[in-house]
Structure 1
Amino acid sequence: MQFPRERLALYAVLTILFLIFVAGLVGYGITPKSIYEVLVLKPVSLIIDFFNNTYSSVQNYFISIVKGKALIIENQNLRDYISTLESRLKILLGYYYENIELKNLLGIKHNIKFNTIGCNIILYSKSGNFLVIDRGKDSNLKIDMPVVYSVDGVTSFLVGKITEVSNNTSKVTLETSPNFKVGVKNASRGGIDVASGNGNGLTVVRPSQDVSDSLSDIFVTVEESGIFPKDIVVGKVSKIKKISAVENEIELEPLIDFYTIRNVLVITSYEKN
């Protein structure tokens, strides 16, 4: 029976100490409510916030993965669409420039007194200095027929002449070919000479005391060759070199890029003056 009494006494002492402790806390303004909030509510709230934040972070992570994949797919689709538009634009630009070419060729066709036929270029050979056009014997084309081009619909520029003819194609040797020769004159200063292709342009050797040529002077064809009509632009003076006391070597630079044009005119006949 002694043991229960000692336990009761212990409980009583603990109860008194607890009451004293609570009374002391109350004396400092600490209430049971505030203790409950600090010891219970705040930890529980922190735990709940932790799990909520963790859940939101995980959720946002997976959402970002899904959205990232969607953005990657969307970005690739946009790139494909842009690539398609660029391809279409190139095609349209090709048609645009070809239309300009045809318009210019049609312009000189009406402005010159030549009988001509329009041709498409189907092959370029920069190393061989020649082109291949899509007409031949089927269009009555013949060797030595001149080939011209225009950039403005008014001025005719010499491309070269036909040197080989098959049933439906022809080879055009460019004026820059080492085998090419044409009678020329300085359009503004006169003087008749022969220009020879040198691979990149043409070379004219002429007496320096007869004509005083200058850089950027334009040289045109003369009719004396019997092949080319007169006044077709051959090129402009890019360099003048004195090779002797009485002679100058003149380099002519073509005024068109033969490897970018798409269409040309073949002069089938013309009225000689």
Structure 2
Amino acid sequence: MALVDITQRPGVLLGAAILLHVVLISAQVNTGSGLPILQVVTFGAFAEVQRGTMALVAGGRNFWFGYIALHQVHLENEALKRELQTLQVRLQHEHAQAQRTDNLRQLLELRERANLDTTAADIIAASGSPEFRTVTIDKGTNDGLATDMAVISPAGVVGRVILPSRRASKVQLLIDRNAAAGALIERTRVQGVVEGFGDGSLRLEYVPGSSDVKPGDLVVTSGIDGIYPKGFVIGTIEQVGPGSGGYHQITVRPAVDFTRLEEVLVVRTPAANREAPEGKQ
């Protein structure tokens, strides 16, 4: 049927005959170098096809290798990030351990120079109230603790035990608004009472207005309350002003940073024997 269609189209037959004639002539005609024109043309055409194919393959290969390399770089970056995070956590842990070791060393030095019967304790909880300032320590009656035992740190006075249980105790901090301690100004030996104000500061009360008091004066425990050992640092006077009843109005900055407190010493020495060695507070 197709043959009949072709025979009915003389133009097609003529074109095919001319093309065949050109091909036959090209096969017989040589170039200046002696090679048949048909062979040269055919080789050139196939060479271009091969060139295009190789370029396509090379592009695909480069794209694939680039993807693999990028994926590998991504994996390496993720591994480096994980390693960096691990090192950061390890560094924080080592820093915390070093800080704890330093705190324990200071507690040991305080115990040795204070010449008091003490036991070290860790703070395991703190009160959430901004006015009633208490902490919980991990020592209790099983460790010889009792109510009204003084709690100190290398920096100074912390507070007193107010509620001991068998394995833990609640400690009222000196900055609690219901806390108080007998105190004296170290420079002049003028006595008064330090009271918590609930805002993190202290007030030195009942110091006569005629007394010599200056900002920067060191305030230490007097021992008259029968709770805190005599001579331990309470804080430094920040402000002095006129008060009521002929007394100074004195603000004291605590020596202890209660926001960073982690370990303490609880004084178990009987009140009659509680006194810090002179000059070794």
| TM-score, scaled relative to structure 2 | 0.75
Residue among 58, 61, 71 paired with 1:59: 61
Q: Deviations over 1:185-243 (max 9, x none)?
A: 122233100011011121113333212322x3221111111111111111122333333
Please report how far the alpha carbon of residue 68 of structure 1 lies from its aligned counterpart in structure 2 after TM superposition. 2.0
Structure-2 residue corresponding to 1:240: 240
- More strand by proportion, 1 or 2? 1
CA contact (8 A) 2:157 2:256 kept: no
What is the SS of the residue equivalent to 2:267? strand
Q: Which stretches of structure 1, 4 residues or more, deviate above 4 A after TM superposition?
A: 38-50
Does residue 135 of structure 1 match 2:139?
Answer: yes
Corresponding residue for 1:186?
185
CA distance in 1, matches of 2:164, 2:77: 53
Could you say what secondary structure the match of 1:239 adopts? strand
SS at match of 1:71: helix
Structure 1 residues 31-180: aligned runs within 5 Å: 48-127=50-129, 128-150=132-154, 157-180=156-179
Kept in 2: contact 1:124–1:259 (CA 8 A): no
Q: Distance in 1 between matches of 2:44 and 2:240?
A: 97
Counterpart residue type for residue 232 of structure 1: F
- Change over 3 Å in CA distance of 1:147–1:45 after alignment to 2: same
Instruction: Encode CA deviations 1:43-72: one digit per residue, 9 max, x unaligned.
Output: 776665444333322212122222222222
Segment of structure 1 superposing worse, 172-181 or 110-119: 110-119
User: Take 1:75 and 1:47, find their aligned partners in 2: how far apart are those partners?
Assistant: 42
The residue type equivalent to 2:134 in the other structure is: F
* Whole-angstrom distance in 2 between the partners of 1:209 and 1:48: 109
Question: Does the residue aligned with 1:219 lie in a helix, a strand or coil?
Answer: strand
Q: Are residues 1:268 and 2:268 paired? A: yes
1:149 counterpart letter in structure 2: S
Partner AA of 2:103 in structure 1: E
Distance in 1 (alpha carbons) for counterparts of 2:251 and 2:120: 30
SS in structure 2 at match of 1:193: strand
Decide whether aligned partners of structure 1 residues 117 and 43 sit closer, same or farther in structure 2, where only a CA change above 3 A counts: same
Secondary structure of 1:79 counterpart? helix
Equivalent residue pairs, number: 243
Q: Per the alignment, in what secondary structure is the counterpart of residue 99 of structure 1?
A: helix
Structure 2: runs of 5 or more not aligned: 1-31, 276-281
* CA positional deviation for 1:266: 0.4
Higher mean alpha-carbon deviation, 104-113 vs 248-257, is at 248-257
How many Å separate the matches in 2 of 1:173 and 1:244? 28
1:109 maps to a residue whose letter is R
**TM-score, scaled to structure 1:** 0.77
**Residues 132 and 171 in structure 1, CA contact (< 8 A), matched pair in contact too:** yes
- Structure 1 counterpart of 2:110, one-letter code: I
- The Cα of 1:158 is off from its aligned counterpart by 0.5
Distance 1:264 1:244 in 2: 36
Distance 1:47 1:255, change over 3 A: farther
Contact 2:213 2:240 survives alignment (8 Å) = no
Task: Give the whole-Å Cα distance in 2 for the aligned partners of 1:62 and 1:241.
Answer: 81
Match of 1:250 in 2: 250
Cα contact 1:148–1:264 (8 A) shared by 2: yes
Structure 1 unmatched runs, 5+: 1-30, 151-155
